[in-house]
Amino acid sequence: MAVETKTTCPYCGVGCGVIARVDDDGAVSVKGDPDHPANLGRLCSKGSALAETIDLDGRLLHPEIDGRRAGWDEALDRVVQRFSAVITEHGPDAVAFYVSGQLLTEDYYVANKLMKGFIGSANIDTNSRLCMSSSVAGHRRAFGSDTVPGCYEDLELADLVVLTGSNLAWCHPVLYQRLAAAKAARPGMKVVVIDPRRTMTADIADLHLAIRPDGDVALFNGLLAHLAKTTAIDENYLAAHTEGFGEAFAAASGMSFPELMDRTGLGASELRQFFGLFERTEKTVTCYSQGVNQSSSGTDKVNAILNCHLATGRIGRPGMGPFSLTGQPNAMGGREVGGLANMLAAHMAIENAEDRDRVQRFWGSPTIADRPGLKAVDLFEAVAEGSIKALWIMATNPVVSMPDADAVEAAIKACPFVVVSDVLKTTDTARHAHVLLPSLGWGEKDGTVTNSERRISRQRSVLPAPGEARADWWQLSEVARRMDFSGFDYRSPAEVFDEHAALSAFENDGSRDFDIGDYAGLDREIYETLAPFQWPAPLNGSKAPASNPPLGGTKPDSARRFFANGGFYHPGGRARFVAVTPAETDRTNAEYPFTLNTGRIRDQWHTMTRTGKSARLSSHIAEPYAELHPRDAIDIGVGNAGLIEIASPHGKAIVRALITQRQARGNIFVPMHWNDQFAAKARVDALVPPLTDKFSGQPASKNVAVSARPFLAS
């Protein structure tokens, strides 16, 4: 008899519910879960094609050591022996984990516990560093915690939705569908899209602002200065719940209007139209994503946006608030368990001695990392320099996705000991591993993920584990046990989740926002039937699954949004305005006169290790390409679909030209997905320099000076 299982899509941060059906003959099909509050039955092209990506072609089915098949015992012993030897000889900071927003929260929890509490280093970072770490840093500066104040429903309730640095239509498609449906139902609703490109998202925009790359701080500073002259400022909210407005206003008002036009590249009427809309519309949501985060000024951009919402008191109320959209399915879950080099666990701070003591006592661990570890870009530079001598990479492909990808590949190749846990043995990174450990893929994994609106959902297994593949949390626990560490005797992901929930509540007097403590102590059966819920999430005294928040979003608003009545997490409970000033944004010069912007396309995910298997998905856009303006195409002498070589001081890519008016002059967009196996030279991240935001460590992947010329095969 066919079996249907409720699970979660493994791609973007929307976190859609999926019903996976396995027929008697083993055929798998998927449909959207009508009861899941994130998508209410919808799926995008990628989610709909999940069943086409789960074959065993290229699967890593058993452990390997130096290219030969090995048993689990031998492989795990090798990992323990090499990591232990490096730690003994060079200290704990000579090893590192590089993990992923693809990991489930339970995997992330165990990885973070092992590295920070038992190995004693904070050298665990994640590809989520490339995704949303500027938002984390901005939240912490403004709110005193990494808290997303609102929820998806706010996009439907708002009268004005501002999308900045977010191609929602392609990168968060189901959320875009919800927004488009709401706009169609309420013609008075306005959408503003701020993006150097006229993306598909701009097709529903009432106003598209083709901003200069990295012009966001100037734009939102200009907006704050404008709002300060109007009645849109919420004086009561400012006085009761915030501090630092004067300094932020002084920084924001230091720019003349002509300078604002120059820095943003926008005309006076466009600016006035946007400022007027924002001023007049109380129910305003500002969504931001990689176009804001992936910048050397990403954290300042986030704070410039937050300043405008704090100044107007438009935060944490239905249809109002700033909204950071996470790119990955479990970027938020990684934040909850501290799976970043500068975080601890349960939203506690590594720099805070009381937090460190609390976590160490809870774990009963022999040590605790007492300072932030290396963030992604620094981590791979340390590998290149030789100070990291043993590296464990889980569920990610940095040889394609990291900035300065050629240098990252060379570093991994030269690293004395590299472990890769993955589902495929064919990734660009896996081929450099000394030890390969087979992991579970989507449809086989079992655990939880958290989406952009803080909603925790179960990802459930619908298929048996192929070959000898095992869960990442199990691999990590086995290594920990073999290193003679206690506290890793988990028998199931439910036991890991239980401990994670208990830590969130451990000595939490309300000074930390993340609290799922009522979910500790759930038995296995209840974990299996757990319905999606948002944190903070009291169970109202009952631990029965029926008391989980009902599907359909009927929980009280107070439990789903933060900060309408203040209650920030800085000492004193006030939000802090952050005074920000725009940095110089133009990186071009005579040799590299174009600005490269990298990003996602609708039908592929990251480095295409899964979506690349679906012919249907590849039929949308079959090849890597460079989007450029017709005048630029004439200037460099390339025709549509002609091959074009794009180069920076760090590398080059050869892709086809796509000539379009959607692209602003001087800018080139190239998707991030393709590698050098799919095309001769298409790893666009090889061109991106290892330049990062000084607060978040997030790379600046959207403003790279490059040259462009027709490619002539020699």
Nearer to ligand SF4, 396 or 508 (CB): 396
Looking at 6, 7, 11, 537, which residue binds ligand SF4 (CB under 6 A)?
A: 11
Residues 6+ apart with CB under 8 A from 111: 97, 99, 103, 124, 339, 394, 472, 476
Q: Both tokens of residue 405?
A: 């990808």
Nearer to ligand SF4, 603 or 685 (CB): 603
Residues 6+ apart with CB under 8 A from 74: 63, 65
Nearer to ligand SF4, 100 or 281 (CB): 100
Residue 510: CB minimum distance to ligand SF4, A: 32
Footprint (CB under 6 A) of ligand SF4, residues 514-553? none
Nearer to ligand SF4, 271 or 325 (CB): 325
Looking at 19, 30, 33, 46, which residue binds ligand SF4 (CB under 6 A)?
A: 46
Binding mask of the shown chain, residues 447 to 466, with x at each position contacting ligand SF4 by CB under 6 A: --------------------
Residue 382: CB minimum distance to ligand SF4, A: 33
d(CA 131, CA 340): 12
3-state secondary structure at position 596 = strand
Looking at 36, 37, 40, 47, which residue binds ligand SF4 (CB under 6 A)?
A: 47
Nearer to ligand SF4, 101 or 338 (CB): 101
d(CA 636, CA 667): 13
d(CA 168, CA 156): 14
3-state secondary structure at position 580 = coil
d(CA 379, CA 391): 10
The answer to whether 109 and 363 have CB atoms below 8 angstroms apart is: no
Interface with ligand SF4 (CB under 6 A), residue total 14
Q: Per CB under 6 A, does 119 bind ligand SF4?
A: no
Residue 171: CB minimum distance to ligand SF4, A: 8
Nearer to ligand SF4, 85 or 551 (CB): 551
Residue 612: CB minimum distance to ligand SF4, A: 15
DSSP annotation of 644 reads: E
Residue 329: CB minimum distance to ligand SF4, A: 7
Q: How many CA atoms lie within 13 A of 469 on its CB side?
A: 24
d(CA 423, CA 400): 16
d(CA 135, CA 286): 13
d(CA 503, CA 352): 16
Identify which range of 5-13, 198-206, 263-271, 529-537 contacts ligand SF4 by CB under 6 A: 5-13
Looking at 6, 7, 12, 339, which residue binds ligand SF4 (CB under 6 A)?
A: 12
Paired with 192 in beta bridges are 162, 207
Q: In what order do the strands lie in the sheet with 3-8?
A: 3-8, 17-22, 28-32
Q: Both tokens of residue 630?
A: 């017709």
Nearer to ligand SF4, 113 or 172 (CB): 172
Q: Is the peptide bond before 536 cis (omega within 30 degrees of 0)?
A: yes
Looking at 6, 16, 59, 503, which residue binds ligand SF4 (CB under 6 A)?
A: 16
Looking at 19, 20, 30, 44, which residue binds ligand SF4 (CB under 6 A)?
A: 44
d(CA 424, CA 56): 9
Footprint (CB under 6 A) of ligand SF4, residues 371-430? none
Q: Per CB under 6 A, does 287 bind ligand SF4?
A: no
Q: Per CB under 6 A, does 14 bind ligand SF4?
A: yes
Nearer to ligand SF4, 32 or 338 (CB): 32
Q: Per CB under 6 A, does 15 bind ligand SF4?
A: yes
- From the list 218, 172, 169, the residue with the least C-alpha distance to 197 is 169
d(CA 394, CA 132): 19
Rounded to the nearest 5°, which phi and psi values hold at 361?
Answer: -65, -40
Residue 167: CB minimum distance to ligand SF4, A: 13
Nearer to ligand SF4, 150 or 173 (CB): 173
Q: Both tokens of residue 468?
A: 């000898």
Footprint (CB under 6 A) of ligand SF4, residues 154-193? 172-174
The answer to whether 288 and 168 have CB atoms below 8 angstroms apart is: no
Q: Both tokens of residue 640?
A: 């549509």
Residue 438: CB minimum distance to ligand SF4, A: 24
Binding mask of the shown chain, residues 619 to 658, with x at each position contacting ligand SF4 by CB under 6 A: ----------------------------------------
What Å distances lie between residue 673 and 103, 376, 378, 538, 643, CA to CA? Answer: 19, 19, 23, 40, 18
The answer to whether 222 and 275 have CB atoms below 8 angstroms apart is: yes
DSSP H helices, 113-242, are: 133-143, 153-157, 168-171, 173-185, 216-227, 235-241
Paired with 163 in beta bridges are 193, 287
Q: Per CB under 6 A, does 49 bind ligand SF4?
A: no
Nearer to ligand SF4, 118 or 176 (CB): 176
CA angle (564, 569, 571) in 5-degree steps: 125
Identify which range of 4-12, 355-363, 536-544, 574-582 contacts ligand SF4 by CB under 6 A: 4-12
- CA–chain centroid gap for 81, Å, is 33
Nearer to ligand SF4, 9 or 218 (CB): 9
- Residue-by-residue DSSP string for 365-404: -S----S----HHHHHHHHHHTS--EEEEES--HHHHSSS
Task: State the residue number with the nearest CB to ligand SF4.
Answer: 47
Residue 497: CB minimum distance to ligand SF4, A: 21
Burial 600-620 (b: 16+ CB within 10 A, else e): bbbbbbbbbbbbbbbeebbee
Residue 604: CB minimum distance to ligand SF4, A: 11
Residue 18: CB minimum distance to ligand SF4, A: 7
687: left (phi over 0), alpha (psi -120 to 50) or beta: alpha
Residue 417: CB minimum distance to ligand SF4, A: 35
Looking at 19, 30, 43, 54, which residue binds ligand SF4 (CB under 6 A)?
A: 43
Binding mask of the shown chain, residues 23 to 42, with x at each position contacting ligand SF4 by CB under 6 A: ----------------x---
d(CA 655, CA 561): 44
Nearer to ligand SF4, 18 or 402 (CB): 18
Residue 500: CB minimum distance to ligand SF4, A: 22
Looking at 6, 9, 332, 537, which residue binds ligand SF4 (CB under 6 A)?
A: 9
Residue 451: CB minimum distance to ligand SF4, A: 8
DSSP annotation of 211 reads: P
- CA–chain centroid gap for 318, Å, is 24
Residue 600: CB minimum distance to ligand SF4, A: 10
Q: Both tokens of residue 141?
A: 């500066």
Residue 43: CB minimum distance to ligand SF4, A: 4
Residue 533: CB minimum distance to ligand SF4, A: 17
Cβ-based neighbour number of residue 709 at 10 Å? 12
Identify which range of 13-21, 123-131, 386-394, 627-635 contacts ligand SF4 by CB under 6 A: 13-21
Nearer to ligand SF4, 183 or 587 (CB): 183
Residue 476: CB minimum distance to ligand SF4, A: 26
Identify which range of 12-20, 158-166, 569-577, 704-712 contacts ligand SF4 by CB under 6 A: 12-20
Residue 386: CB minimum distance to ligand SF4, A: 39
Q: Please give the residue ranges that form the binding site for ligand SF4 (CB under 6 A).
A: 9, 11-12, 14-16, 39, 43-44, 46-47, 172-174
